[in-house]
Structures are given as C-alpha cells and as structure tokens.
Structure 1
C-alpha cells in the first residue's frame, strides 16, 4: 500500500505539474501564478484545495484589468510545508502576509479567500490591516464549528504519527473509493463538473502528502477561530461576502450573516440554489462579485 501510494502520488504530480513560479517566504517555498497587469488581486483557496480551483473563473478576462495572483497555501497544491506548526491559523496568516510583502505590489491587494482561505484572509487583515486593501470572501469559514462536516470527519486525525501512517496506506484507496461521494457533498446542491479532477486540480488531493496536510489543517483549527471572532469588529477595510444558500459545508447564516452582523461595512450576497464551490459552479457571478469588491477596495485605498 505504501508503494502504491508513492507511485500514484508521483503519477499525479507528473500529470498536474506546477504551473507557476516559486518564492521563499518565512521559511516556506510557495508556488504561485501571476496573470495580467493592474491593481493586484490575490486568491487563496480552501481546505484540501489548490490554486487550480480558481481556473473555472474567466481569468483571462479579469487579467485584462487586474494583476491576478493565485497561491498554493503551504502544504497544498505544489507548496510544501516545513512543519505541522505552520498549519495554525496565525502561522498561515503570517506566511500569506509575508507573501504579500514579498510580491512588492505597487498598492495593497484585494485579498480573496475561499472557504478556509477566507479564515486565513480574515486573519491576515486582522494581523496586518495596512497590507490589504479589502477582502472578498467566498463561502468563507468565519466562526468556530464544533465538529467537521460528515464528509470531512475521516480527516480529523489528531496524532501526527497515525495521520502519516494512514496517509501512506489506506487514505489513498479510501479517497479513490469515496471520491465521487465527497465531491457530491462538497458541491451540493450543484453537480461537480466532470473535469474537476484535472482542470480543478482535484487529483492533487489524492497524494499522501496532500491528505496529511489537509488533515493537519483541519485539526489545527481547533480553538483557533474563537479569538478571531471576537476581533471582527476591528476591521475597517471593505469586506464583501459571497455565499450560496444551499451550501452544505458551511452554513451561510452561521458564517456569512454572523460576520456581516459584526462588520458594519460588510456586504453579503447570497446566491439562491448555489453551494460551496462558487468559483467552479458560478464563475461569471463570482467574477462580477470580485469586480465589485475590487472597485470598493481600490476606491477606498485612493480615498485614504
């Protein structure tokens, strides 16, 4: 099983090769991709995802007006992670904030976060508010969740040794067997596109190191969000929220409506009949959302 996991992981890496460039930040080697010129927009993916999750967006169209930067978070996609300690929410925020500085943008960017990437983006804005012009949060995780959704419970492995042992033995066959079931849950009530394993980078999640990193991310969230929740009222920058009212991964009222209630300037848009994977299932609507958020963020930057 170990040999099978290693072999298949290498096949996936050979099929979905890195698309972008590399940069060293805070001791982490980060993989990122840049498109276009103009005001910067940095996109951060969610739990178990990677930058390819945003490839359904009309990137070429957006790149005519903005400089798009798609990032693989440490431990995700093609970015390795130096240690499990870097999975903590504050540590992820420190690395992303360091990445924003290292990119030497001519102005603070609009920071876009999907799902767990939303929690990370909020942590960045609270940690270094001057580093970000605004937040565009897509189905973001914003508040503490007592337990993970049913499809993610198999990832809640608290002991690192057991986590690594499973990553290189049973995790990959189990992921292959349950793959369609998990995708159906994550995308529900919308159907997952058939090309998501390749175009959306779904296959990258089958690798042993990806399972290990995703499980580490999930377990590291325990007791991390409550202190952050208490500080949301400190946010002064523009905040835009996009949620599907059918999201089965994160309830839009618990995470979207609750955040909007704590941040007076936040604007919440709820999409009827949509689920959690809005960048994939609602690409044009999401692109329009990003344009509105960018307009607010960069206008606010100019006014300040």
Structure 2
C-alpha cells in the first residue's frame, strides 16, 4: 500500500532492514506522492541502490532495474525490434503469396521492451519502481533518451506512436558523481544527497542488516569503519563494506574484532591493494582498538 505519510514510509523501510533518515524518507515519499523522479547522489556504498530496492518492497511492487554503463544505447534501454522474427514473418508471407505492410511488421508482436518501456507499460495494479542505476556512468547523450520518460511518463516509438504509462512508474536515479549530469535531467527530478552516516547510524544499519551479529561486534565494526575512512584512501569503505565485513566476521565465528582478525578479513572492506598496504603500514591496532 502507498504509505500515508513520511513516518509510515520510514517505518516500512525499517521493516525491510533499510534505515533511512528523515531527509531521505521525505524525498522517497515525495517521489511516490508527486509522481516525480528522484535523483539520489552520494559516494558509492551509502545505500542509494538499496533505497530503491527497499522502496519497491514497501510498495509491494516490481522493481525494474536499468544498470547504466559507458556505451549504453537507446535500443538496450528503451526498446528494439525483433528483427529475426520479422524476417521469418516476411519469408512466411512470401511463401503464401502475401505481402506484409509496415503496420504488420512494426507492431507489438515484434516489439522487445527493454527496462524503460517495460516500466511504462507495466500493467499494475501498483506502479513499478524503475531504478536507473549509476546514470553518471552512461554517456552524456544517453540522458536525452530519459527526458520524455522523466517529464511525462511516456516513451515514443516512431513506428507506432507514444506509449503513456497507465500506472506512472516511481523513478529513482542514482549517481556516484563521476561526472556532472545535465541541467535538463536535474530539472525533471527531485534531488537528495545521501551522506555517509556517522558511527551510531552505521552500527544500527549493521544490526538491522546482519541481525545475527552481536551488539559488541556491530559496534566494533562501525568504529573500525569510521577509522578506516580517515586516511586518504583510493576507495574509502562505505556502509555496504561494513555489512560485508560483519557478514564475513560472522561466517568465521568471530565475536570480537582484533588486529589479527581484521588483517585476515581486510579484503572484505578494502578493495584496493594500495589502500590495504597503507592501512597495514599504519597498523591495524589503531583501527580496532579503543572506543
């Protein structure tokens, strides 16, 4: 069901294991209530993608995901025609002495819906959550293909016309800020930046996402993570790495984090050799010791 207010949505997100602050919960609520796309920005690992997944769970609806990457084309994101099937239809018609028109060949029977069109044509009864993930990784030109969908909830197919959403999708775009997005895209979206949470929030997230981990270990992981973010690392660890680390420690049966355990599991939280070398050189005792 559609949450009636921000507090209801925030409580629903918490039930899925996603702890959103008031600002993020408000942004997500407005995206649903106003039928406006929401652009979530922030560094990797702060929970942008997970926010869309949790929102789909709260709304009890399907989530359709478009993972962006360099070179992504409109055919891969919007729709394309099933050319092999069209050729077969032409040959079959020729064998029968029939002639196919453009209307015959360019119809729904030969249309392959990709994520953007699939979200627009979703039958409901609830609107789909459309996650356009890491939109900043796509080329600048790709943003132009999103503007009609973001502004009007529709997709135009030149051969057969415009398809408008009966149930306008809840659109969530995420960006790691690897490049600036165009003003035309930003104007069509609500905007919210997810900052890296503080120690207490990281601990609460670890407890929610890895409930089998004890309170002491959750506290140690959160504090160690914040200390690991202090040096100038190539890829400072985020909340996602804290969850991975807690899961790894639990799998090993660890109940108390010390320097030796941290050394053996450092690959769960630091993903670059240069970062691991820097932390090891400084000493893990300072990372895991004290409160």
TM-based fold match above 0.5: no
- Bigger-Rg structure (1/2): 2
TM-score by length of 1: 0.24
TM-score by length of 2: 0.25
